[in-house]
Amino acid sequence: MKLILLSLFAGVFSIDTSKIKSETTIEKIFITSTDSESGRTLMIEEDEYSIWAYVLKPNMEGIDFDGFLCSIIDPKSMEIDPKEATKNGNATPLTATYANKHSYIKSLSAKDIKIYWKKDRIEIKLKKEIYLIMDLKTKTSYSKALAKDCYYGNKL
């Protein structure tokens, strides 16, 4: 969440965020992409448990809608209290109830993520597979990492 706020600030004031390092010693994924035709901006951010994509509002003043990309911790082996997990502003970790064989990706890096802007949607590939489609008209996300529709988004 801190990186989201930093990115919003950076976008408004045109700060070069490539020189800003993560607060931890391990580099977490943080990617921004702006579509040249629509002017819309997408941010992809890794927190302690998962990776999310956020489409910013057209005026760049906040998040328009989000989409769940994947979990970086196996939901089937996670033993953490959701209240404890969200204390630092993290999203609630994906639970085994909504997980499938595509939910957990070990050792994902920024180079494994590709963003494709289409007319009315954004397609995000992880390791050459479409993992997330974000419909810009309906503001709905469809994730390959979800076993069923839920508050994380819709199943792809």
Cα–chain center distance at 125: 12
Residue 56 lies in domain: 2-14+26-155
Q: Please say if the pLDDT value at position 65 is more than 90.
A: yes
When the pLDDT of each residue in the chain is averaged and rounded to a whole number, the result is 83
Residue 4 pLDDT grade (very low, low, confident, very high; cuts 50, 70, 90): low
Q: Please say if the pLDDT value at position 40 is more than 80.
A: yes
Structure tokens at 106: 């070990």
Quote the pLDDT of residue 10: 53
Number of domains in the chain: 1
Does the predicted TM-score (pTM) go above 0.75? yes
Mean pLDDT throughout 54-64? 90
**Cα torsion at 94, 99, 102, 105 (round to 10°)?**
30
| Phi, psi (rounded to 5 degrees) for 108 | -85, 140
Position 20 in a domain: no
Position 19 in a domain: no
Position 21 in a domain: no
Angle at 118 between CA 107 and CA 145, to 5 degrees: 35
